[in-house]
Structure 1
Amino acid sequence: MTTQETGIEKIEKTRSDWSWVPSLYFAEGFAYAIVALLSVIMYKRMGISNADIALYTSWLYLPWVIKPLWAPLVDVLRTKRYWILVMQLLIGGGLAGVGLTIPMPDFFQFTMIFFWILAFLSSTHEVAADGFYLFGLRESRQSYFIGFRSAFFRIAIIVGQGLIVVLAGQLESTLSVSPAEFKVVANPNKFFEETIKVDSVKATELSGMLRVIANPSYVEISTRPKTKEQVGFYKHFAKSFNIMNGFSREMLELPDTTGMQDLVGNVGIVKFVLSKKPSEGSEYFINVEFLEGHEGIKVVEGKELRFTDKNWNKPAFAVIQLDSTIAKKTISGFTARSQKIPLAWMITFFILAGLFVLLFIYHRLVLPEPDDDKPAGNKRSSTPGKEFFRSFARFFEKKKIILIILFLLFYNFGSAQIVKLSIPFMMDSRELGGLGLSTSEIGLINGIVGAAAIMLGGIWGGILVYRKGLKSLMMPMLIALNAPNVVYVYLAWFQPEIIWITYACVAVESFGYGFGLTFLLMYMINVSDGEYRTSHYALASGFMALGMMIPGMLSGIIQEAIGYKFFFIWVLVAAIPGFILAKYIPLEYQFGKKKLTEK
């Protein structure tokens, strides 16, 4: 009878665990994906430079780095369940804040503030969820679910940087067109001037989603000054042509004829067309905007262009002028993007906010209330303040803690740079060294194919740890994490046009990343074993996040200095410190195998 009752209790317990463990770790991974990954894609589509994207979004890792500073508060104040529910509701509010600030003129600063808040909320949610996992499940159930919780975290990544990106891409396609980027170079050694060329043959339709095409995508302008009369001719021509073909609704004005022989900065011409005919009656307003580089290079004519189904294949002109004081070689980047791209992303973030409100309601109903989920100060005759500082002290008393921290910092040193710039690389035009993929293609390749491969690699890594133990897999997993990065060297040097080759390369690299990352996740569990598991796991993962944040911040600067081709070679070299440190870290030979086979 006792055996029968125990069996019934196990079935009920299993059913209860399945009702909240997958959804809790989906919420954890989803919030992380939005802050760390989806923000990169959004800023790229909104015209932010690679250097700014890499630098400022890398700062978003900081809350995961410093979360150990307030992780003990989650231990000593209120219950883990309370923290989870409050964080999910606040995350929903933060996502709505991002959506509301996207249309603002200074959207980058305002949305970054909300992403910063979301990063703190998400990292706190992670601390509470990991702690609740330890209290909400029996020890044997913790081992059973460790692979599944990782899988649902990865599924959330698939949704966050895959399906949500596809959704945003579809909204972009419906509401707007994909942008174009071009470079303008002030060159003192350029002597021959190009004349204005008006194509006699209209542009032909191209396959793929509707996008803006800039011609040329690399414009060289001599730094030798021109007379005001000469520059005025180019500006008047571009404006007249744009008005005649319906690209501009401005009235043609008589040019200023004063000081016509005064010397002013030289100019260059860029032409724009759409890749294919839009639907009948539709119109798209394209803004030609400064992106990065020297601010003395400016758009002086054709800042706003109106494309329709009637003029999509006729050239629209923009005139770019150098500041007359520029005397040495200088480069600036520009983008031509639709005014409605912000609307597509605003809608996307409102949808995300609604999803988190639904997650809050669901977990309010299904999360158990375990007896052990109490503030740490209630478990002994101690004050919350003493518990707070004791948890820190115990972590830094661990054997070889300096080596452990260095290993956590350098394990991902190479791969962290790939994570930060793989998406900008795929989105940049081929002329700029990228692959020229659309938002929807990025969602499918990096979000679905890549994230699915990461998940499969993680599951396979967990199975091998279960069978062989963690220590015997240390070098194979390190190699699997870093060696597949060579596929990005291939993609950067050869820029294959067959999309399935890119699919395969991303799948190989992502599988290796998921397989190799298993070692680090299991090693952090090993490091965290002891009295303060929640706080110590937060400390370990904080150092891991710092190891992602610092190389991520530097990656954009390095890439812009040496280009994509040599950047990905550098990434392979950057993996060396992790291999050296791995030889000296403390690790029990049977760890993982013994832990996962406990009954």
Structure 2
Amino acid sequence: MQSKPATEVASNPWRWVPSLYFGQALPYVVVMLLSVVMYKDMGVSNTDIALYTSWLYLPWVIKPLWSPFVDMFRTKRWWIVSLQLLIGAALALVALTMQLPAFFQMSLAMLWLMAFSSATHDIAADGFYMLGLRQSQQAAFVGVRSTFYRCGMLAGQGGLVYLAGKLSERTGDVGFAWSVVFGVLAAMFVALALYHRLALPRPAADVPSVAGSDPLHAFFASFAAFFKKPDIGLILGFILTFRLGEAQLLKLAVPFLKDPLAAGGLGLTTAQVGIAYSTVGVLALTVGGLAGGVLISRLGLQRCLWPMVFAVHLPDLVFVYLASAQPHSLLFISAALALEQFGYGFGFTAMMLYMMMVSDGLHKTAHYAICTGLMALGMMIPGMISGKMQELLGYQHFFLYVCLMTIPAFIMAALVHIDAGFGKK
């Protein structure tokens, strides 16, 4: 792949920030939601769904182990385009496994390939964001970044879940329906790779970080620099606990919506889940993320932290109510889910800016990857036990337990240090 001179930069972030983060969202949506809905449709138990799909978070957890190599070799631009093509290939292979007898094991294997490729793509994309934009632009575009990330979630969760539900109803073949969905995703990724090959800028700073020096020394130096940061214990505690409750709720939200009333669920069809949770909910999530970015850019992260921590966690009580009342109205259920998702989108902006603040410095790409890896660890381990906890407690008591699991996040928010004025225009 031939490169233009490194000094040539396409200056308009609107050409590439929206599409880059739209694409970054799609594989994460596959792990977080599509795989859960797919395996639920294919008759896999809640315990197995939560356990095995939570393991798919592992590449995002351990990506800091190879993040320095993304810094050291080739450009971030090269990594982004190449990995988008590889993700498209992995998704196409998932589509081919759905009609096979050992679909569960084979589809999981292909999803692992996709997850490792996606985690590496995230390293390059997040690093490219920080290289391609000035710090003031980074804060200004965090809402745009978040909004188009949510648009990617909307496309992946809403439209594709609805498509799977309708195809299943019309053909009676669940495997065929999900093959079509993953085929569509594969085509989307190939299209994104071709677009980004042309549209991504070429920042002068987007060069390998080592030239003639010892790569192994640079690798360990980036890790050592992160763990020598002041207040590293508070940094780790805040990132790991911020989504302790939400990590468990997310894994069981779709099974709860789909399980019959007799089992404590709401009895929605796959198509109705596509409307209520994956479309209305994600739209609310998107609006919340955009509002959070605007507020932080005006007031700064320090003043916004506490309102955003409350916004993430208090709406979890919505699920306690839904599990207790088991309402039948799709409109009411959609409105309740929209409230919960708006709060989550609004509040999660604080975590994104906090990780940028922590990562600022010489090794910003590798350090941001470490932060997101820790955040993924905080999602993976609680998610792995969530299915078993739900089966032991039942949905109503499980959601009460989730609310209790948010307490550590409030404690850490009271202790963590925020740079005055960070994120403010």
- Measure, in 1, the Cα distance between the counterparts of 2:381 and 2:99: 30
- Measure, in 1, the Cα distance between the counterparts of 2:264 and 2:134: 52
Q: What SS does the corresponding residue of 1:377 show, helix, strand or coil?
A: coil
Q: What is the CA distance between 1:501 and its match in structure 2?
A: 1.2
- Find the counterpart in structure 2 of residue 13 from structure 1: 11
- Measure, in 2, the Cα distance between the counterparts of 1:352 and 1:73: 28
From 93, 108, 114, the equivalent of 2:104 is 108
- Find the counterpart in structure 2 of residue 406 from structure 1: 237
* 2:85 corresponds to 1:89: yes
Whether the aligned pair in 2 keeps the contact of 1:19 and 1:366 (CA below 8 Å) is yes
Kindly tell me the number of residue pairs found equivalent between the two proteins.
Answer: 418
* 2:368 corresponds to 1:540: no
From 378, 381, 388, the equivalent of 1:550 is 381
- Measure, in 1, the Cα distance between the counterparts of 2:226 and 2:295: 28
Q: What SS does the corresponding residue of 1:13 show, helix, strand or coil?
A: coil
- Measure, in 1, the Cα distance between the counterparts of 2:285 and 2:422: 23
Indicate the structure whose relative CO is greater, using CA pairs within 8 Å and at least 6 residues apart: 2
- Find the counterpart in structure 1 of residue 140 from structure 2: 144
Q: What is the CA distance between 1:149 and its match in structure 2?
A: 1.2
Task: Indicate the structure with greater helix content.
Answer: 2
The one-letter code sitting in structure 2 at the alignment partner of 1:505 is A
Q: What is the CA distance between 1:139 and its match in structure 2?
A: 3.8
- Find the counterpart in structure 2 of residue 373 from structure 1: 206
- Measure, in 2, the Cα distance between the counterparts of 1:35 and 1:110: 15
Correspondence 1:471-482 to 2 at 5 A: 471-482=302-313
- Find the counterpart in structure 1 of residue 5 from structure 2: none
Q: What is the CA distance between 1:585 and its match in structure 2?
A: 1.4
Correspondence 1:65-84 to 2 at 5 A: 65-84=61-80
* 2:348 corresponds to 1:352: no
Runs of 4 or more consecutive aligned structure 1 residues displaced over 6 Å after TM superposition: none
- Measure, in 1, the Cα distance between the counterparts of 2:350 and 2:133: 23
Change in Cα spacing, 1:440 to 1:508, as seen in structure 2 (3 Å) is same
Whether the aligned pair in 1 keeps the contact of 2:85 and 2:189 (CA below 8 Å) is yes
- Measure, in 2, the Cα distance between the counterparts of 1:54 and 1:543: 19
- Measure, in 2, the Cα distance between the counterparts of 1:521 and 1:139: 14
The one-letter code sitting in structure 1 at the alignment partner of 2:364 is R
Q: What SS does the corresponding residue of 1:590 show, helix, strand or coil?
A: coil
From 175, 182, 187, the equivalent of 2:171 is 175
The one-letter code sitting in structure 2 at the alignment partner of 1:360 is A
Deviations 1:392-423 (A, max 9, x none): 01000001101210111111111111111101
- Find the counterpart in structure 2 of residue 483 from structure 1: 314
Deviations 1:315-369 (A, max 9, x none): xxxxxxxxxxxxxxxxxxxxxxxxx111111121112111111111111121222
- Find the counterpart in structure 2 of residue 424 from structure 1: 255
Let me know the Cα RMSD of the aligned residues.
1.5
Correspondence 1:498-517 to 2 at 5 A: 498-517=329-348
The one-letter code sitting in structure 1 at the alignment partner of 2:204 is D
Larger of the two Rg values belongs to structure: 1
Deviations 1:544-585 (A, max 9, x none): 111111111111000000100100011111111111122111
- Measure, in 1, the Cα distance between the counterparts of 2:89 and 2:114: 9
Deviations 1:121-180 (A, max 9, x none): 11111111111112223444333322111111110001111111111112112211xxxx
- Find the counterpart in structure 2 of residue 559 from structure 1: 390
Q: What SS does the corresponding residue of 2:164 show, helix, strand or coil?
A: helix
Q: What is the CA distance between 1:481 and its match in structure 2?
A: 0.9
Q: What is the CA distance between 1:435 and its match in structure 2?
A: 0.6
Q: What is the CA distance between 1:448 and its match in structure 2?
A: 1.1
Q: What SS does the corresponding residue of 2:16 show, helix, strand or coil?
A: helix
Q: What SS does the corresponding residue of 2:328 show, helix, strand or coil?
A: coil
Correspondence 1:26-45 to 2 at 5 A: 26-45=22-41
- Find the counterpart in structure 2 of residue 396 from structure 1: 227
Whether the aligned pair in 2 keeps the contact of 1:485 and 1:572 (CA below 8 Å) is yes
Q: What is the CA distance between 1:526 and its match in structure 2?
A: 1.0
Whether the aligned pair in 1 keeps the contact of 2:265 and 2:323 (CA below 8 Å) is yes
- Find the counterpart in structure 1 of residue 409 from structure 2: 578
Whether the aligned pair in 2 keeps the contact of 1:376 and 1:384 (CA below 8 Å) is no
* 2:59 corresponds to 1:59: no
Q: What SS does the corresponding residue of 2:57 show, helix, strand or coil?
A: helix
The one-letter code sitting in structure 1 at the alignment partner of 2:86 is L
Q: What SS does the corresponding residue of 2:53 show, helix, strand or coil?
A: helix
- Find the counterpart in structure 1 of residue 400 from structure 2: 569
**Percentage identity across aligned positions?**
51
- Measure, in 2, the Cα distance between the counterparts of 1:141 and 1:465: 13
Q: What is the CA distance between 1:64 and its match in structure 2?
A: 0.7
Give the unaligned 5+ runs of structure 2. Answer: 1-7
Change in Cα spacing, 1:414 to 1:446, as seen in structure 2 (3 Å) is same
Q: What is the CA distance between 1:452 and its match in structure 2?
A: 1.0
Q: What SS does the corresponding residue of 1:371 show, helix, strand or coil?
A: coil
Q: What SS does the corresponding residue of 2:210 show, helix, strand or coil?
A: helix
Q: What is the CA distance between 1:474 and its match in structure 2?
A: 2.0
